[in-house]
Amino acid sequence: MHSLLIVTRYKTRYIPIAFISMAIFHIPLFFNKKIHFYKLMGCGKNGTFDIHPDFNQWALMFFYDAPEVKGTAENIIPINLVGGFISGWWRVFKVKTNMFLLEPYAGHGSWDGREFVSAHKGIEDHSGEIGVLTRATIKLSRLRSFWRAVPAAAENLSETEGLNYSVGIGEVPFIKQATFSIWENSESMKNYAYKMRAHQEVIRKTRKEGWYSEEMFLRFKIIKKIINF
């Protein structure tokens, strides 16, 4: 199982086009036989969970069974996996893209009832750069508590040692939220997740108050990344 995350950035004058794409892209993605699961999402500001949307930035993520990747990533990612219609759309509207070709290797939880690694598979140590996806469906009764707690945990994320990239993504505003981040190694990720006091407080409240109706945590090997394609 592989995954592809594409974060797109539209020029301000094309923001209405970005909104339209979130509806139109469902058609080619739905009929793409290579894709088992996909999500079209908006993005928050500041690279993490953020109540304020960034209307210039949008995301597409999907999971698929893939053969051995051959050829140049510049040709493989936008054409063979995304399809000609979507990649052509991005060219016409001069969209900048950050593309991350990923392989999930450990984690737990589900996304709309789908699991992408075995629940019985232990956490593997992976040397080198890793990607992390943390996503959750927040209960309506816990929205206020969640959004009160987020700023403290996210405040210094961009300055965290070992963090190479992060983006906040969500399929439903305020309710279905996720953060994808890339870390130099698993140790730097663990230092943030398990040692940062504000983040630990969020984890404690999550468990105590039962904020989520569904959640998922995945770690990825980074197969390829193309920035500002």
Q: Are residues 143 and 191 in the same domain?
A: yes
Q: For residues 81 and 130, state if they share a domain.
A: no
Q: So what's the pLDDT on residue 198?
A: 64
Query: Tens digits of per-residue pLDDT, 48-99?
Result: 766 788 999 999 999 988 655 555 554 556 556 788 899 999 999 999 999 9
Question: Which phi-psi region, left, alpha or beta, contains residue 204 (left: φ > 0; alpha: ψ -120 to 50)?
Answer: alpha
Residue 130 included in any domain: yes
98 lies in the same domain as 122: no
Claim to verify: residue 119 and residue 209 sit in the same structural domain: yes
What number is the average pLDDT over the span 205-226?
86
| Same domain (yes/no): 158, 79 | no
Residue 120 shares a structural domain with residue 216 = yes
CA pair distance 147, 117, nearest whole angstrom: 29
List, in order, residues 6 or more apart from 27 with CB less than 8 Å away.
none
Q: Examine the fold and report which residue of 103, 128, 158 is the final residue of a domain before the chain moves on.
A: 103
Tokens 């793409």 sit at which residue? Answer: 32
For CA atoms 153, 48, 106, 228, the dihedral sign is negative
> Among 82, 103, 124, where does a domain finish?
103
Segments forming the whole domain that contains residue 209: 114-221
- Name residue 93's amino acid: F
Decide which of 72, 103, 134 is a domain's last residue.
Answer: 103
The answer to whether residue 139 is domain-embedded is: yes
DSSP state at residue 78: I
C-beta separation of 58 from 67 below 8 A = no
What is the reported pLDDT for 169? 92
What's the pLDDT band for 229 if we cut at 50, 70, 90?
A: low
Both structure tokens of 53 = 């949307």
Give the CATH number for residue 91: 3.30.70.100
pLDDT at 13 exceeding the cut of 60: yes
CB 63 within 8 A of CB 5: no
Q: Is residue 228 part of a domain?
A: no
Other Cβ atoms closer than 10 A to 181? 22
Number of domains forming the structure of the chain: 2
